Amino acid sequence: LILTDDGKLYSYSNNSNMTGVGETSDFTEIKFDGATVEQIDTLDGLSLAVLSNGEVYGWGYNTNGILGDGYDLGGIYPTPVKLNLSNVRTMSLGNGFAIFATYAGEVYGIGKNGYGQLGTGDNVGASTFVRCEELEK
């Protein structure tokens, strides 16, 4: 993935499940209606993008359920799908989990939590976005 200074996102891969645009033989722009890309992260076959309008999109392998409600655990999403989370300012994709911070200062997490990385005060994984109040402190 290549993110340009003007918020355009380009992808190239020989694995059509991970490109965000299906099969490609050259760098191809991943377009989002009316928004530019502010941040990208990719790990273990899953990519996430935070847009200028606060929306988050993901594509690739949903091995740990990071895409959230409505997307099959273990499913493959070769083009971007919108996550059920808005007003996102920044995010971090970890080993099997993701953390999102909103413009309002709230923090949400999803995925593995075996070591308490979601900041929920326990070690129970989440397949829906959970508020991580411990990480807001």
Q: Can you tell me the mean pLDDT for 8-32?
A: 74
Three-state DSSP string of 45-105: CEEEEEECCCCEEEEEECCCCCCCCCCCCCCEEEEEEECCCCCEEEEEECCCEEEEEECCC
- Taking only the tens place, the pLDDT of each residue in 106-136 is 999 999 999 999 988 899 999 999 999 888 8
Q: What pLDDT is attached to residue 112?
A: 94
Tokens 């099997």 sit at which residue? 96
Q: For 32-82, how does the pLDDT look when each residue is reduced to its tens digit (9 = 90+)? A: 988 999 999 999 889 999 999 999 999 999 989 999 999 999 999 988 999
Instruction: Return all residues near 25 (Cβ < 8 A) that are at least 6 apart.
Output: none
Q: Model-level pTM? A: 0.90
In degrees and rounded to multiples of 5, residue 11 shows phi and psi of: -135, 150
